[in-house]
Amino acid sequence: MEQFSAFFLQHREAIFIVILSIFLGIEVISHVPAILHTPLMSGANAIHGVVIIGAIIVMGHADTTGSMILGFLAVVLGTLNVVGGFVVTDRMLEMFKKKK
Amino acid sequence: MDGISPFPFGITILEITYVIASVLFVIGLKMLSHPLTARRGNILAAFGMGFAIIATILFHKKDGEPIGNIPLIIVAIAVGTVIGWVIAKKVKMTAMPQLVSFFNGMGGAAAALISMMEFPHISPDLIARTGMANGHVLAILLGLMIGTISWAGSMIAFGKLDGWIGDMRIKAMKYVNLTILTVLFGFIAFIMTRDVQASSELTPLIYIMFAIAVVYGVLFVMPIGGADMPVVISLLNSFTGVAAAMGGFLYNNQAMLTGGILVGSAGTILTILMCKAMNRSLLNVIAGVFGGGGKSNIAEGGTVKEISLSDAAVLLSYSKKVVIVPGYGLAVAQAQHICHELDKLLDEKGVEVKYAIHPVAGRMPGHMNVLLAEADVPYEQLIESDEINPDLPNTDVLIVIGANDVVNPAAEDDPSSPIFGMPIIKARDAKNIIVMKRGMGKGYAAIENMLFFNEKTRMLFGDAKNTLQNLVNEIKSL
């Protein structure tokens, strides 16, 4: 029990953010029309590319060659996720604008 | 800058940027769910991401140490940007689902790599204080597990959608997967209860765990039928979101935390919405029951009747109302442009042409809308199935182009059919039905379609693009 309260109190801000973000995520997209499912999935896909921040931090403190290589790889993959995700979403959505 | 001050300038800028980025993610996602604002929403979220990345490189400090290796980081970002940009711009619209899956996998892999690199560097102070059982270790292990599963699973989904990996269905798969999943959680529990001075002593365990997670990711997606792949991609998408959030937990980074969890929860809801559109439960999808698992008791057979191109041309030209039901066959044949030509031609002859879009037509919900929009088909001509169904009895000709399961009456008639209960386009209500198909193969769900044997149905066999082209020529020459 003590371990649990220590954990909870130490991380309560993060836990708050997690819980509120869950509700936010549900609320934000619950009324999306079916035609936007694919672009929305793709857009959300790009947003979780935020993992690149972690990759940059890891790479920024890498000291051995091995961690340097892995860090480099992580940044490249994270960037692929971000850039590819946003560009592909934009390409899909570009087609919707030509409505008559 | 002023490293002595307890509130250094750089960190303030960094944290403010993270707040702005998080707000832009939320607003971007919100705008993405409305057709008119979607594109701006995407760009807004991209700006948020850009700010967060730049601020991290410039201002982030870990134990007072600024980010090093900046030239290499910039090279890595440049490499990723060029590759990502080129792939995203070059790939055909029909390959969109596998592309989303591919990029999703990259994010998962990045999350897994971060965990692998951070694990040996867990602060010895922390371990001395709490042992291995602390939130830090848990975040690393969960990030590794979820990120790896998402990566491996996405790659398999990518391969399946691209057609170079087939389905693998073994009845025992469910139990095998459940066992592996238990083992993975066992690993987490085992690592967290070890009594060590430094986490690096346990590093080999991390690699074993990584390998098992790869196996799980592969086996998790292998048995799932192609028609269910969008649901799986959406699910893996939310997995990667959670993996990214674990990174946020690890670095006490609010941008990663909000961004990751937001996608995790939005992705889960989206997954459920997709399942609803197919009238299936998520569990059902994961267990891989769809497509071949269930046996329909409708006997095969009956005879199909073909129609000649000239007859089809005449039939269409003298109709009042025509409804086109496009499916994935239309997409793979790249026939959306010629299809639009057909509808314009008929429109000039005074025929009213509408498209009936099933929510899961194509390989992803909304996929068909994207493809038809690419071919300049006006938005107003695309009608969702619920709306068009009551109108079908007044429809003179209904053309099914490369669609199968979404018009299969078994969904209404045959309780033993695996797709029973799925909302369909009630094609058989139309006065005449023309089905364009490559051959008598079954649809993605691999079940017999009685619509093809209906007495009102006429078949036009061949590649959708060629057939449509010939049909257009035929109508022009009338």
> pLDDT category, B231, cuts 50, 70, 90?
confident
B5-46 pLDDT tens trace: 667 888 899 999 999 999 999 999 999 988 788 899 999 999
Same domain, B186 and B55: no
In a domain, B298, yes or no: no
Question: How does pLDDT run across A15-49, given as a tens digit for each residue?
Answer: 898 999 999 998 888 777 777 888 888 999 999 99
Q: Which residues of A7-36 are buried (b: 16+ CB within 10 A; e: fewer)?
A: beeebeebeebbeebbebbeebbeebebbb
- Complex ipTM value: 0.93
On whether both B13 and B162 belong to a single domain, the answer is no
Mean pLDDT of chain B: 86
Instruction: Check whether residue B331 and residue B444 sit in a common domain.
Output: yes
Choose the catalytic residue: B228, B343, B405, B414.
B405
CA angle B4, B8, B14 (to 5 degrees): 150
Question: Model confidence over B374-406: pLDDT tens digits?
Answer: 888 887 888 888 889 998 999 999 999 988 888
**Which band of pLDDT confidence, cut at 50, 70 and 90, is reported for residue B444?**
low
Picking from B59, B90, B121, the residue at the C-terminal end of a domain is B90
B450 and B356 housed in the same domain: yes
Q: Is residue B223 part of a domain?
A: yes
B98 and B86 co-located in one domain: no
The reported pLDDT for the residue numbered A76 is: 96
Does the residue B302 lie in any domain?
Answer: no
Q: Say how far residue B13 (Cα) sits from the centre of its chain.
A: 36
A69 in contact with B, Cβ within 8 Å = no
Q: Give the domain range for residue B26.
A: 1-90
Are residues B85 and B194 both part of a single domain? no
**Residue B304 counted as domain residue:** no
Q: Are residues B113 and B127 in the same domain?
A: yes
**Which residues 206-265 on chain B approach chain A with CB closer than 8 angstroms?**
230, 233-234, 237, 240-241, 243-245, 247-265
Q: By the 8 A CB rule, do B58 and A61 touch?
A: no
Reply yes or no on whether B343 is catalytic.
no
CATH number of the domain residue B338 falls in: 3.40.50.1220
Residues B384 and B270 in one domain: no
**Are both B68 and B118 inside the same structural domain?**
no
pLDDT given for residue B288 in this prediction: 54
Residue among B37, B49, B344 with most chain A CBs within 10 A, to mutate: B49
In the 3-class helix/strand/coil scheme, how is chain A assigned residue by residue?
CHHHHHHHHHCHHHHHHHHHHHHHHHHHHCCCCHHHHHHHHHHHHHHHHHHHHHHHHHHHCCCCHHHHHHHHHHHHHHHHHHHHHHHHHHHHHHCCCCCC
Mutate to test the interface with A, among B18, B87, B104, B380 (most CBs of A within 10 A): B104
Count of domains for chain B: 3
Residues on chain A touching B366 (C-beta within 8 angstroms): 34-39
B61 belongs to a structural domain: yes
| Nearest C-alpha in A relative to B96 | A88
- Minimum-distance CB partner of B76 among A48, A49, A79: A79
Asked whether the CA dihedral B98, B99, B101, B102 is positive or negative, the reply is positive
Model confidence band, residue B108 (pLDDT cutoffs 50, 70, 90) = very high
A54 close to B (CB below 8 A):
yes
Domain end residue (candidates: B233, B258, B290): B290
For residue B380, list chain A residues with Cβ-Cβ distance below 8 A: 99-100
CB contact under 8 A, A41 and B237: yes
Chain A residue closest to B151 (CA)? Answer: A77
pLDDT tens for each residue of B199-220: 888 999 999 999 999 999 999 8
What pLDDT score does A4 carry?
78
Residue B383 and residue B285 share a domain: no
Within a domain: B303? no
Given an 8 Å threshold on Cβ–Cβ distance, is A60 in contact with B109? no
Q: Work out the minimum CA distance from A11 to partner chain B, whole angstroms.
A: 8
Could you say which of B67, B90, B113 is where a domain stops? B90
B101, B47: one domain: no
Residues B283 and B341 in one domain: no
**Do the domain assignments include residue B299?**
no
B223 against B249, higher pLDDT = B249
Read off the pTM: 0.79
Residue B157 lies in a domain: yes
